[in-house]
């Protein structure tokens, strides 16, 4: 499995107040989108999320988002290595993802950019 990079997931109370800091820190503009009732801003390696407390409590359990070349391959490697797949793989507008529980108890999201395959 080829890991291409990682994104740090940060839950914030006020997305609008937080975005300018991270834009300046990362040196770029935020890409904004909604995922259900959660507002998201992707800035460099940071993924800022704001929304209802119950949804953020779930999102906080995922330590990081890991970009991979192929989520199906990640699924096989993770499963063969003792991880438990909690969600997915599922198709999203920008690719596919899955959520995995590692044997040490850590939870990670794995994503690829292979939309519509």
Reported confidence tier of residue 113, pLDDT bands at 50, 70, 90: confident
Query: At residue 115, does pLDDT exceed 90?
Result: no
What SS3 state is found at 76? helix
Reported confidence tier of residue 58, pLDDT bands at 50, 70, 90: confident
Q: Which domains does the chain have, with CATH numbers?
A: 3-112 (3.10.180.10)
Q: What is the pLDDT of residue 94?
A: 72
Q: How confident is the prediction for the chain on average, in pLDDT?
A: 91
- Over residues 66-76, the mean pLDDT reads 95
Residue indicated by tokens 């119950």: 54
Q: What are the tens digits of pLDDT across the range 1-48?
A: 889 999 999 999 999 999 999 999 999 999 998 888 999 999 999 999
Pairing mode of beta strands 3-11, 46-50: parallel
DSSP-assigned states of every residue in 2-57: -EEEEEEEEE-S-HHHHHHHHHHHHTSPPEEEEETTEEEEEETTEEEEE--HHHHH
- Over residues 38-60, the mean pLDDT reads 92
């Amino acid at each position: 499995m080829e890991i291409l990079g990682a994104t740090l997931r940060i839950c914030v109370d006020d997305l609008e107040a937080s975005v300018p800091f991270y834009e300046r820190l990362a040196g770029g503009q935020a890409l904004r989108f909604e995922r259900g009732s959660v507002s998201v801003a992707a800035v460099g390696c940071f993924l800022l999320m704001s929304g209802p407390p119950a949804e953020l409590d779930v999102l906080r359990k995922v330590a990081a988002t890991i970009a991979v070349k192929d989520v199906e391959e990640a699924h096989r490697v993770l499963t063969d290595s003792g991880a438990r797949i909690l969600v997915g793989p599922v198709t999203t507008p920008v690719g596919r993802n899955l959520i995995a529980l590692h044997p040490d108890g850590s939870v990670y999201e794995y994503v690829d950019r292979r939309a519509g395959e």
